[in-house]
Structure 1
Amino acid sequence: MKRKNVSRITALGLCGTMLLSGAAGLTAHASEEEPLSFKVTTVYFGDQSPENTKIQEEWIKLCEEKLGRKLDITFEYIHTGDYTEKLQVINAGGDLPDILTCYTTNSNAKLMVDEYGSKGLFLDLAERLDDMPNYKSYLDKDPQSQSTLYTPEGNLYGAYNLSIVPTGSAHGAFSTMMAVKNSVLKDLDLEIPTTLDEVYDVAKAIKDAGVSKYPIVQLEEWQNPEDVVFNAYHTASNRYYDGTEFKYGPLSDDYKQALQYLNKIYTEGLISPDYFTYTTDMGNADLESGTACILPSAWEGYPGAWADERPEDEWVAVPLPTSDAYPDEAWQFEREFTSEYEFNPRYSMVISAQSPIADELVKFVDAQYDEDVINLLNWGIEGETYEMKDGKKSLIVTKDQYAEYGMPVSGSMRSGIFPQPQDMDLWRIEISEPAPIYWNGEIVTDKLVAFSSSVMNESNTTPRDGQPNPSISADESSEYANIMTPVETYAKEQKVKFIKGDRSFDEWDSYIEEINKMGDIQAAMDIYNSKISK
């Protein structure tokens, strides 16, 4: 069942000015007393939307103050599990709300934003930056914004996810570490695994002992064990950056070795045969039932949280495992951000180019990058959710109060409109729990940023660290899609067949020949490689 929540929030706050319109496509009449009315479609991540929470209400009031007029916002909240599909329908149909969150779980939304923006669906903010002083100031502070957010023609169709990074940001690659239930390992006198071969041996021992039918578990849709295996073999299931250029993973011998490993754990029943379609609900059920013993790919913050929530399990974080092919070249760590102000092109909010109140919405969106709004949507209310000491903020509410207040840092109750700018001193340091981390044969307890910063070096840093994210034109995007859409569809189909054993690895050369006949893959990679500064 699709989860959707539509609510209308009328914020009667400060002075009203002229109402220009209602939701996109609706007509309104001018009136100094009437609020600015518009519709927002955005994503929510928990069991319910943030409506009626204190931070949401304070956010509305603060936006009114910044704009100098009342606001009447109709929100359509769509759950993250349904959002990707719904977003495709919205864009394809062209029936847009005034403001739309662009977020997907299976691709880079930037290409979609540029594609539909070039077709006239989204407002080009590059032409409106004189009316967006807050957004423009952060664009100017991010040295990569021109190359990562704008199209080659100079268009800027989204208001993108901003991270403010006062302190360092080293962490696990992909914000991921392996999580291992050490209570089970201790009972069976097993060592914590750090390589793929050791993961196999430990999982097999757990299964043979009758502790778990499927010891290896995928916890969430976006944390696929496959990605960890591909990473260990220095490849990927799609386009990836190897440190010098972009390549297509499914053509490489490294990819073949990764598939052979996945085939082994699949055919020997060490991972559920349903993992190809595993959902977060299914993964959480395995976690609750005790079936989950090894999570090859888990958000790096979970083991620290579980130390408090389920201490009897003794979950331990382990930097991503290595493979026999690259035992001394681990892709384990990366800096999440390479500058103090950095935009993420994967998430954005866009303004409908057809909205009759586009001029006013530009100002509203710019207000989301106002320092006071950013502070509210991160730290909350001074004296109630945080306090200042020696010029530094610190939270004075407990973790279980985050969602109650509607603080985006709760993860589940994100007031405002996603993506909200994020103060990473809050998100990555203040709220992080010291996590039990297995390193060099010992379990150490430390906060992830501090730990990762202390051990990250040339031999364990992924090429993703500081990788270029070139922007391509609409024509180039179309050319890339024409080549790669059938290629990627075929590669995914064959990947499943190889893993399940429905296709023999004796046919690998035939597979390579078949996939190369489907399109000029190197030409597609060169679209991106041509944008890299050598």
Structure 2
Amino acid sequence: MNKLAKMLVLGLVMLMIFSGCSNNSKNSVSNEDNQEVVRFSVTLPASGVDNPNSLVGKEWHKSMEAYMGKKVEIKYNYIPASEYDEKVKLMIASADLTDFFITPLFYDVSQMAGQGQLLELAQYKDLMPNYMNYISKVKNGMKRVTNSDGEMYAFKETSTPRFPEDRGMLIQNTAAYRYDVFKENNIKIPDTLDEFYEAAKKVKELYPDKYPVATKFNSLRSLFSANHIRDEIFWDGEKYVYGVLEKGYKDALQFANKLYSEKLLDPEYTIDTDDTVKRKALNGDNFMWLTQWFTTPAEYTRTADDGKIFAVSLYPDNPDYGKAWQEVVNANTPDLGWGAYAINSKAKNPEELIKFIDYQYSDEMIRLITWGIEGTTYTIGEDGLPTFVDSLKNAKDPWLEGDKYGMRASRNHNPGLQMVSDSRAFVDFAATDYTVFNGKYEEVPIEKSEFLTSLPLHDNDYIPSWLSEPSIQLTGNESQRISEIMNPVKTFVTEEQAKFVAGKNSFDTWQAFIDKVQKMGAIDEALKIYNDAAQRATAN
């Protein structure tokens, strides 16, 4: 082979080697660049802690990557809890939604579904075995998660049992009192609204520059419950009615007006946030709460750590209506919680998201999210069930100690997608509450209160009528029509309610107010839709 030929061959070999190396290098880069990754964005309420980077949050992310067999990249959009509902409603109105989000509380998604904003989930049933298995254990489960056309537009929060099937009553909203002040001044913890009023006057005498009474959630719900109504459409035990049109609604507002006019009710009750309610409680600005979240007063007690005792009790009765209905939730059988979670119809990877979300309802993930990490935060007892380690249960403030790890059962954390939890963990982990039931003061976790745990589930006068409402299914058109009717009515009623309480509206104009409510929207039509749906449900 001559010199020129050798040079050509050598050049060709070098070119082949170079090309091969280049191709291999290019493929490696391509594989690196195109490595399969599950990417999506989520909108969640902020809890004031760093859930993704807590110990449990990191373990959840690691476990999800192992399950999906891919890297997982989540873009979190956290919104303060007090602002969440309004801001998400603005996102909905502007169609500026993340791939996955928690809907506003008690939000009717039918209009969003009709506008094509939400992914219809029932078509993916085969991809969500864990969720469907859980729904099968819930009474009327499928009816409660689908509309009358069998369509499903939201996942539901889970609620596993805390108590036996036949006894035990879980209340998640209560009245609350500065027990130390009441005890020191020989003021009785009220059993009735009249006693509540008299107690407020006595506290006012002690602290004339303070407003004795406040409420959480800007809510007068305890007064409505005392009068056996809600300020919305609700099941009264026989049919759906609109509570605003019932006598009990006016009676409740007149009582609130009496508190307001005598400077017993904090005039800022309509705008107070959770933070301002807490600040005023700790500062000694308020002493009685018409409504509180059932574990919050004990948190106040531990935070103050100076002799202040914030105790919970049942909503006071209005004897004209009987025992006050309490804010009871089903803690006796598998059930669904309040939260609803939806997928944006524009999400680019719906099947991946479905698979990802469905795994949240698996036993493995429910245990991880709620209990944390075996050997670190919990162990398995002789009964085969998890129980928290002694260093957590015996801590002065178990929730505060639990926050170091970030599992759901601790005070502030809600790792993962905030969808699931094992309610037994809350009982096992429960910190001390300060309770007054039947006139007896106890320092005991409310879930372990002898009074509450011994109550029969049936033949119980505290149980509200709506806890046994039929599992109705509304068509898309029915839901949309109800929204059209009731949304403007709700806005109007909320505004006028505050005016009646503050004395800006005279109760002499009550009938004019009721007439305007009825003229604003076709209330009878809305009620007919609900009651027709109830007849369909009971017929089936």
Same fold per superposition (TM over 0.5): yes
Contact 1:150-1:471 within 8 A present in 2 as well: yes
| 8 Å Cα contact 1:36/1:72 also seen in 2 | yes
State the match for 2:287 in structure 1.
293
Q: Which residue of 2 aligns with 1:441?
A: 439
196, 209, 214: which one aligns with 2:211: 214
User: SS of the residue aligned with 1:78?
Assistant: strand
Which structure 2 residues correspond to residues 276-291 of structure 1 after superposition, within 5 A?
Answer: 276-291=270-285
Larger of the two Rg values belongs to structure: 2
1:193 is aligned to 190
Cα offset for 1:211? 6.0
TM-score in terms of structure 1 length: 0.86
- Match of 1:422, SS? coil
Task: Name the structure 1 match of 2:423.
Answer: 424
Q: Does 1:229 align with 2:229?
A: no
Q: 2:262 aligns with which of 244, 255, 268?
A: 268
Query: Counterpart of 1:217 in structure 2: which amino acid?
Result: A
Q: Is the 8 A contact 1:338 1:466 kept in 2?
A: no
Distance 2:350 2:32 in 1: 17
Paired residue type of 2:446:
L
- TM-score (structure 2 length as normaliser): 0.85
Q: Is the 8 A contact 2:210 2:286 kept in 1?
A: no
Q: Which residue of 2 aligns with 1:367?
A: 359
CA distance in 1, matches of 2:207, 2:196: 17
CA distance in 2, matches of 1:500, 1:91: 33
Whichever residue aligns with residue 480 of structure 2, its letter is S
Name the structure 1 match of 2:336. Answer: 343
Tell me the secondary structure at the aligned position of residue 460 of structure 1.
Answer: coil
Q: 8 Å contact 2:56–2:405 — kept in the other structure?
A: yes
Which string of whole-angstrom CA distances, capped at 9 and with x for unpartnered residues, describes residues 231-253 of structure 1?
A: 11112222222222221111121
- C-alpha distance in structure 2 between counterparts of 1:92 and 1:37, whole Å: 27
Q: By how many angstroms is 1:278 displaced?
A: 1.4
Shift in Å, 1:376: 0.6
Deviation at 1:260, TM superposition (A): 0.8
Q: Which sits farther off after the overlay, 205-214 or 141-150?
A: 205-214
Q: For the residues of structure 2 that align with 1:134 and 1:150, how far apart are their CA atoms?
A: 17
Find the residue that maps to 1:317 and give its secondary structure: strand
Answer whether contact 2:159 2:421 (CA < 8 A) is retained.
Answer: yes
Matched, 1:316 2:311: yes
Distance 2:293 2:77 in 1: 28
Letter in 2 for 1:406: G
What is the one-letter code of the residue matched to 1:161? E
Q: What amino acid is the match of 2:370?
A: N
Query: Structure 1's 307 and 287: CA in aligned 2 closer, same or farther, altered over 3 A?
Result: closer
Aligned residue for 2:43? 42
Say whether residues 1:254 and 2:256 are aligned partners: no
Q: Give the counterpart letter for 2:98 in structure 1.
A: P
1:19 matched to which residue of 2?
none
* Closer, same or farther: CA 197–469 of 1 in aligned 2, 3 Å: farther
Give the corresponding residue for 1:91: 92
> 1:115-514, aligned counterparts within 5 Å?
115-165=111-161, 167-168=163-164, 170-171=168-169, 173=171, 175-210=172-207, 213-218=210-215, 220-221=216-217, 224=219, 226-306=220-300, 308-310=302-304, 312-326=307-321, 328-332=322-326, 334-337=328-331, 339=333, 341-344=334-337, 346-390=338-382, 391-396=384-389, 397=392, 398-418=398-418, 420-427=419-426, 429-450=427-448, 451-455=451-455, 457-514=459-516
Instruction: Give ranges in structure 1 of 5+ residues lacking alignment.
Output: 1-28
SS in structure 2 at match of 1:265:
helix
Write the distance in 2 (CA, Å) between the matches of 1:30 and 1:448. Answer: 55
CA distance, structure 2, for counterparts of residue 209 and residue 300 of structure 1: 27
Q: CA deviation at 1:310?
A: 4.1
> 2:57, 2:416 within 8 Å by CA — same for their partners in 1?
yes
Equivalent residue letter for 1:358 = P
In the alignment, is the contact (CA less than 8 A) between 2:43 and 2:102 conserved in 1?
yes
- Show the counterpart of 1:519: 521
Residues 289/91 of structure 1: CA separation in 2 closer, same or farther (3 Å cut)? same
1:411 to partner: Cα distance: 4.4
| 8 Å Cα contact 2:56/2:368 also seen in 1 | yes
Aligned length: 492
Amino acid at match of 2:474: I
SS at match of 1:296: strand
What is the CA–CA distance in structure 2 between the aligned matches of 1:435 and 1:66, rounded to whole Å?
Answer: 39
Aligned in 2, Cα 1:89/1:440: closer, same or farther, shift over 3 Å?
Answer: closer
Query: SS in structure 1 opposite 2:78?
Result: strand
The whole-number CA distance in structure 2 between the counterparts of 1:517 and 1:338 is 42
Deviation at 1:100, TM superposition (A): 2.1
Counterpart Cα distance in 2 of 1:407 and 1:161: 17
Query: Aligned AA for 2:312?
Result: A
Structure 1 residue 97: Cα displacement: 2.3
Q: SS at 1:124's partner residue? A: coil
Sort the Cα spacing of 1:299 and 1:67 in 2 relative to 1 into closer, same or farther, 3 A.
same
Per the TM alignment, residue 268 of structure 1 is displaced from its structure 2 partner at its CA by 0.6
Structure 1 residues 404-450: Cα deviation after superposition (integer angstroms, max 9, x where no partner): 222122342221012x21111112x1122343322333224444334
Structure 2 Cα separation of the partners of residues 401 and 132 of structure 1: 35
- Percent identity for Structure 1 against Structure 2: 27
Deviation of 1:356 after TM superposition, in Å, equals 2.1
Contact 2:45-2:81 within 8 A present in 1 as well: yes
Task: Indicate the residue corresponding to 2:22 in structure 1.
Answer: none
Of 192-201 and 470-479, deviating more is: 470-479
Task: Give the AA of the match of 2:55.
Answer: K
Q: Amino acid of the residue matched to residue 317 of structure 1?
A: V
Cα separation, 1, equivalents of 2:213 and 2:130: 46
**CA–CA separation in structure 2 for the residues paired with 1:422 and 1:471:** 26
Q: Quick one: structure 1 residues 313 and 468, their matched pair in 2 at CA, closer, same or farther if it must change by over 3 Å? A: farther
Secondary structure of residue in 2 paired with 1:276: coil
Per-residue deviation, residues 193-230 of structure 1 (Å, max 9, x unmatched):
11111111111111122266101112x32x62x11111
CA displacement 1:275-307 (0-9 Å, x = unmatched):
111111211111110122111211122344455
Give the distance between the partners of 1:101 and 1:482, measured in 2 at CA: 22
Shift of the 48–448 alpha-carbon distance from structure 1 to 2, 3 Å rule, reads: closer
SS in 1 for 2:461: helix
| Offset of residue 384 of structure 1 | 0.3
**1: CA distance, partners of 2:531 / 2:199:** 41
Tell me, in whole angstroms, the C-alpha distance in 2 between the residues paired with 1:166 and 1:269.
41
1:415 aligned partner, one-letter code: P
Per the TM alignment, residue 55 of structure 1 is displaced from its structure 2 partner at its CA by 0.9
Q: Shift in Å at residue 531 of structure 1? A: 2.0
Partner of 2:4: none
Deviation of the 1:513 alpha carbon: 2.2
- Comparing 269-278 with 42-51, greater Cα deviation is found at 42-51
Go from structure 1 to structure 2 and tell me whether the alpha carbon gap of 1:62 and 1:172 turns closer, same or farther (over 3 Å shift): closer
Deviates more, 1:65-74 or 1:434-443: 434-443
Question: Residue 178 of structure 2 contacts residue 309 of structure 2 at CA under 8 Å; is this kept in 1?
Answer: yes
